[in-house]
Amino acid sequence: MVETQQADTLQYELPEDYRMLRDTVREFTREVVGPVAARHDEEHSFPYEVVAQMAELGLFGLPFPEEYGGQGGDYFGLCLAIEELAHVDQSVAITLEAGVSLGAMPVYRFGTEAQRNEWLPQLASGRALGAFGLTEPGAGSDAGGTRTTARDDGDEWVINGSKQFITNSGTDITRLITVTAVTGNADARSGQPGKEISTILVPAGTPGLTVAPPYSKVGWNASDTHGLSFDEVRVPKANLLGERGRGYANFLRILDEGRIAIAALSVGAAQGCVDESIAYAKQRTAFGSAIGSYQAISFKIARMQARAHTARQAYYHAAALMLAGKPFKTEASIAKLVASEAAMDNARDATQIFGGNGFMNEYTVARHYRDSKILEIGEGTSEVQLMLIARSLGL
């Protein structure tokens, strides 16, 4: 993003390379993603053919250096792509977001050179997916409550425990799961009380790793989500990701970045509801006139656009801070909070505008209505974002 001063006005505009990326993904979304979105949603099927074409476009490698098989772009470019995909299919958008932000980014941020060379070319190509095993039945917002353990056994880590709600964990192309696990007592190593939590790389198919059947979900039906169990899962000591005992701190950094990406996804959903509502309000008639000519409908859509616009500026700002190397934690929480609420509010209003048709799954707004609620929960609930914002204010 660039800022240019012209006369007495401050104008914000995307540089050409970002605009080209956005327009390319927008065309792809309309021509490839949109036509099959309803079918995959109804069938609860993972869109392998769409993901393969996303891989060909290089979307999974957007923020990674070319030396690791990436496109040499940045995180904001990834967010632009996610926003465009989410206009019509949040399941596809979250597949990209989780595959990059949660699957590959921890390896890039915290991995050794050997780990990067082994895993990033696969993950950046999109021919393989990674997952992040954080949430547990008793540890969601309170991730410090992790109970999964990894004991030191000579040259190996031995992992026992379970995870739930893990995106991209059970596809045919899933190759890696990064697992948070308790590796000891923090006071034994640092003098500070509490658990020592580390992150460990577990290749898919490792003996003792069991992928549970897919969940029956309210939305995101074409996204792959499973529970995982670990029964004496053995991996080499070299699979420790980052410094031992820094797993909790490292995953917080990953979530801070991921909240910007989830905000972008939410903005895409919010804008998709606006665009669908505008088109419908122009062609649907009631009492002899297009319903868009009535103030009740036009004002509702105007408010929807205001929400989407405001949320977009919030995630642009958080992304700009991140790329500039400045603190962005609070701004990421603000963006995630505002954007997820915009998506949910716009989905509700769009469904109302569509009337009975808005309750039919064949319409995009119906999918957004079901899909958007999780945006206020995943990667940090709205309550967690409020807590973080309040703390930044000294409260």
Query: Percent helix, strand, coil in the chain (nearest 5)?
Result: 55, 20, 25
What count of other Cβ atoms lies within 10 Å of the Cβ of residue 69? 18
What count of other Cβ atoms lies within 10 Å of the Cβ of residue 176? 25
Q: Which two tokens stand for residue 385?
A: 């974002």
- Annotation marks residue 243 as catalytic: no
8 A C-beta contact, residue 173 and residue 128: yes
Q: What Å distances lie between residue 158 and 32, 178, 268, 345, CA to CA? A: 43, 14, 41, 45
Q: Which two tokens stand for residue 265?
A: 């996804």
The active-site residue out of 136, 257, 276, 379 is: 379
- Residue numbers annotated as active site: 379
